[in-house]
Structure formats: structure tokens, C-alpha cells
């Protein structure tokens, strides 16, 4: 039991496991929300699963960079970012299902995610 309690997010198992666990929760909640709203689309599911596979590849690439360059923060950053994205998506799906979060918590999480997305899009547009 003590071994389980001694894990931290820097442990490889958690860095891979937590994002994947949230991905599965996001897929299940998204499917249920679509089922409940009668809007199931195989192309949306296929695109979503493709994105999840890409996210897993990003995590693995992060570990490869860590090993290649002898650093230990690239995979951690990628795992934390993907965990945050998946948690935000899960919250949005839960809202569609009807499970409400307190408004102040929901707005802080979703607002931060939308602002980060806008910053990324603005950076991409400036690069063109």
C-alpha cells in the first residue's frame, strides 16, 4: 500500500496512465452525451479516436526526447498538458450530459482552455 502512496506524477506510470485514463473517460462520456442528444456520428468518433492516438504518440515522443537529451521535463510537460486538455473535455461532456460543476470552477477551467487555444491559433496565424 505504501508503494502506491509514494507514486508522484513524475513516475512514468502516472505520466502515461493518467492521460490515457482521462482519454477513455472522455471517449465514454462523449459517446454517452452524443447518444443522449441523438447525435452519434461515426466520423466524429473516428476523428476523436485519431486525436487520442496522436496524443499518446506525443507522450511517447516526449519520453524519447527525455532519453535522447538527458532531460526529464519534456514528457512531464506534455503529459500535464494532455491531462489538462482531457480533463477540460471531460468537464464539457459532463455538462452536455447534465452533470453540472459549480459555475466559478467551470468558468476558470474552460476560460483558461479557450484563452490558451486562442493564443496558439494567433501564434500560428502570425507565423504565416
pLDDT per position as a tens digit, 32-74 = 999 998 999 999 999 999 999 999 999 999 999 999 998 888 9
11-15, 33-37, 91-95: the lowest-pLDDT one: 11-15
Q: Longest C-alpha distance within the chain, in Å?
A: 53
Q: Establish if 18 belongs to a structural domain.
A: no
7-16, 61-70, 116-125: the lowest-pLDDT one: 116-125
- How many domains does the chain contain in total? 1
pTM of the full predicted structure?
0.72
Cβ-contact 15, 59 below 8 angstroms: yes
Asked if residue 5 has pLDDT above 70, the reply is no
pLDDT grade for 1, boundaries at 50, 70 and 90: very low
Q: Establish if 65 belongs to a structural domain.
A: yes
CA gap 110, 121 in Å, rounded: 16
Residue whose cell numbers read 465514454? 28
Residues of the domain holding 85: 26-127
pLDDT per position as a tens digit, 29-40 = 999 999 998 999
Q: Establish if 5 belongs to a structural domain.
A: no
Amino acid at each position: 500500500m505504501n508503494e502506491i502512496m509514494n507514486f508522484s506524477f513524475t513516475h512514468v506510470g502516472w505520466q502515461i496512465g493518467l492521460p490515457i485514463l482521462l482519454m477513455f473517460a472522455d471517449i465514454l462520456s462523449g459517446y454517452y452525451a452524443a447518444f443522449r442528444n441523438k447525435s452519434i456520428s461515426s466520423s466524429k468518433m473516428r476523428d476523436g479516436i485519431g486525436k487520442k492516438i496522436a496524443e499518446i504518440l506525443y507522450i511517447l515522443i516526449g519520453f524519447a526526447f527525455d532519453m535522447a537529451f538527458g532531460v526529464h521535463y519534456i514528457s512531464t510537460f506534455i503529459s500535464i498538458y494532455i491531462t489538462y486538455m482531457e480533463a477540460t473535455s471531460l468537464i464539457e461532456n459532463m455538462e452536455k450530459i447534465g452533470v453540472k460543476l459549480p459555475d466559478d470552477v467551470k468558468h476558470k477551467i474552460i476560460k483558461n482552455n479557450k484563452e490558451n487555444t486562442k493564443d496558439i491559433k494567433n501564434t500560428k496565424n502570425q507565423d504565416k
